[in-house]
Chains A and B, each alone.
Chain A
Amino acid sequence: MTITVDGAPVTGARGQSIAGVLMADGRRDWRTTSVAARPRGLFCGIGVCFDCIVTVNDLADVRACLRRAQDGDVVTRQHHLLPGADA
Chain B
Amino acid sequence: MRAPRDGTRHVVVVGAGPAGLSATRAAVQQGARVTLLDASHQTGGQYWRHRDTPTPTPAEQRLQHQWRVHEVLRDLARTHPRVELRTGAQVWAAEQHDDGPRLHVLVGDVDGHGRTHLSLAPHAVVLATGAHDRTLPFPGWDLPGVVTAGAAQALAKGDGVAVGRRVLVAGAGPFLLPVAATLAEVGATVVGVHEASRPAGLVRGWLPRPWRLAASPGKAVELAGYVAGHVRHRIPYRTGEAVVAAHGSDRVQAVTVARIDERWAPVPGSGRRVEVDAVCVSHGFTPRLEVAIALGASISSSRFVAVDGDQATSAENIYAAGELTGIGGVDAALAEGWVAGHVAAGGDRSDRSLRRAVSRRRASADVTSRIEAAHGIRPGWTAWLRDDTLVCRCEEVTVGRLRTAVEVTGSSDPVSVKLTSRAGLGICQGRVCGRVVSELLGSSSPMQARPVVTPVRLGDLAATPPFAAPGVPQAPGAAEPATAPAPAPLGPPGPPHSPDHDHARARAPHSATTERTHP
Q: Could you list which residues of chain A lie within 8 angstroms of chain B, going by C-beta atoms? A: 13-17, 19-21, 23-24, 28-29, 33-36, 38-51, 53, 59-63, 65-68, 78, 80
Kindly list chain B residues whose C-beta atoms are within 8 Å of the C-beta of A49. 393-394, 428, 431-432
Residue contact B147 to A19, C-beta cutoff 8 Å: no
16 A-B residue pairs with Cβ-Cβ distance under 8 Å, sorted by A, are A15-B52, A16-B161, A20-B155, A20-B158, A23-B159, A28-B251, A42-B155, A43-B146, A44-B432, A45-B150, A50-B428, A51-B394, A59-B113, A61-B111, A61-B457, A68-B41
Q: Is B519's CB under 8 angstroms from A33's CB?
A: yes
List 5 additional A-B contacts (Cβ < 8 Å) besides A42-B144, A66-B40.
Answer: A24-B159, A43-B432, A51-B428, A62-B110, A65-B154
A33 pairs with B396, CB closer than 8 A: yes
Chain A residues with CB below 8 A from B395, complex form: 35
Q: Is there a chain A Cβ closer than 8 Å to B351's Cβ?
A: no
Chain B residues within 8 Å of A61, by CB: 111, 427, 455, 457, 516, 518
Give CA–CA (A34, B142) in the complex, Å: 14
Q: Which residues of chain A are near B144, meaning CB under 8 Å? A: 28-29, 39-42
Which of A20, A40, A44 counts the most chain B CB atoms within 10 A?
A44
Given contacts A28-B144, A49-B393, contact A23 B163 (CB under 8 A): yes
Please indicate the chain A residues that have their CB under 8 angstroms from the CB of B158 in the complex: 16-17, 20
The answer to whether the Cβ of B250 comes within 8 Å of any Cβ in the partner chain is yes
Find chain A residues with CB under 8 A from B250 CB: 29, 39
The reply to whether A45 and B148 contact each other, CB–CB distance below 8 Å, is: yes
Residues of A close to B155: CB separation below 8 A:
19-20, 23, 42, 45, 65
Q: A40-B142, A50-B519 are known contacts. Are A23 and B161 too (CB-CB below 8 A)?
A: yes
Name B111's contact: one of A23, A41, A62 (CB within 8 Å): A62
Q: Within the complex, which residue of B145, B396, B427 is in contact with A36, where a contact is CB–CB below 8 Å?
A: B396
User: What total of chain B residues lie within 8 Å of the partner, measured CB to CB?
Assistant: 48
B316 within 8 A of partner (CB): no
B151 touches A68 (CB 8 A): no
- Most chain B CB within 10 A, of A14, A15, A19, is at A15
Interface of B is mostly: loop
Check if B159 sits within 8 Å of A19, measured CB to CB: yes
Neighbouring A residues of B516 by C-beta, 8 Å:
61
Q: With A and B bound together, what is the CA distance between A41 and B160 in angstroms?
A: 18
Inter-subunit contact B111/A43 (CB<8 Å): no
**B145 vs chain A, min Cβ distance (A):** 5
Are A48 and B519 neighbours in the complex by a CB distance under 8 Å?
no
Would you call B147 and A45 a contact (CB within 8 A)? Answer: yes
Residue of A nearest to B159 (CB): A20
- Residues of A contacting B154 with CB < 8 Å? 45-46, 65
Which chain B residue shows the least CB distance to A29? B144
Q: Which of B109, B431, B457 has the most CB of A within 10 A?
A: B109
Chain A residue numbers with a CB within 8 Å of B52 are 14-15
Give the docked Cα–Cα distance between A53 and B163 (Å): 17
Q: How far is the CB of B172 from chain A (nearest CB, A)?
A: 17
A14: chain B residues at CB < 8 Å are 52-53
A16, B427: Cα distance in complex, Å: 24
Q: Chain B residues with Cβ under 8 A from A53's Cβ?
A: 427
CB distance from A78 to the nearest CB of B (A): 8
Q: Which 5 residue pairs are nearest across A and B when measured between Cβ atoms? A: A45-B151, A20-B159, A28-B144, A45-B154, A29-B144
The answer on a CB contact under 8 Å between B148 and A43 is yes
Given contacts A24-B161, A48-B288, contact A66 B145 (CB under 8 A): no
Q: How far is the CA of A54 from the CA of B509 in the complex (A)?
A: 28
Distance in angstroms from B196 CB to nearest chain A CB is 20
Complex Cα spacing A20 to B163, Å: 9
Cβ–Cβ < 8 Å partners of A16 in chain B: 51, 158-161
Minimum CB–CB distance for B141 against chain A, Å: 9
| Given A23-B161, A43-B393, A61-B111, A80-B518 contact (CB < 8 Å) | yes
Q: A68–B163 Cα gap in the complex (Å)? A: 18
**B311 interfacial contact with A, CB 8 Å:** no
B122-170, CB < 8 A from A: 132-133, 142, 144-148, 150-155, 158-161, 163
Q: What is the CA–CA distance of A48 and B40 in the complex, to the nearest angstrom? A: 12
Closest to B148 in A: A44
Nearest CB of B to A59, in Å: 6
Contact (A46, B132) CB under 8 Å given A15-B51, A59-B111: yes
In the complex, chain B residues 224-282 whose Cβ is within 8 Å of any chain A Cβ: 250-251
Residues of A within 8 A of B159 (CB): 13, 16-17, 19-21, 23-24
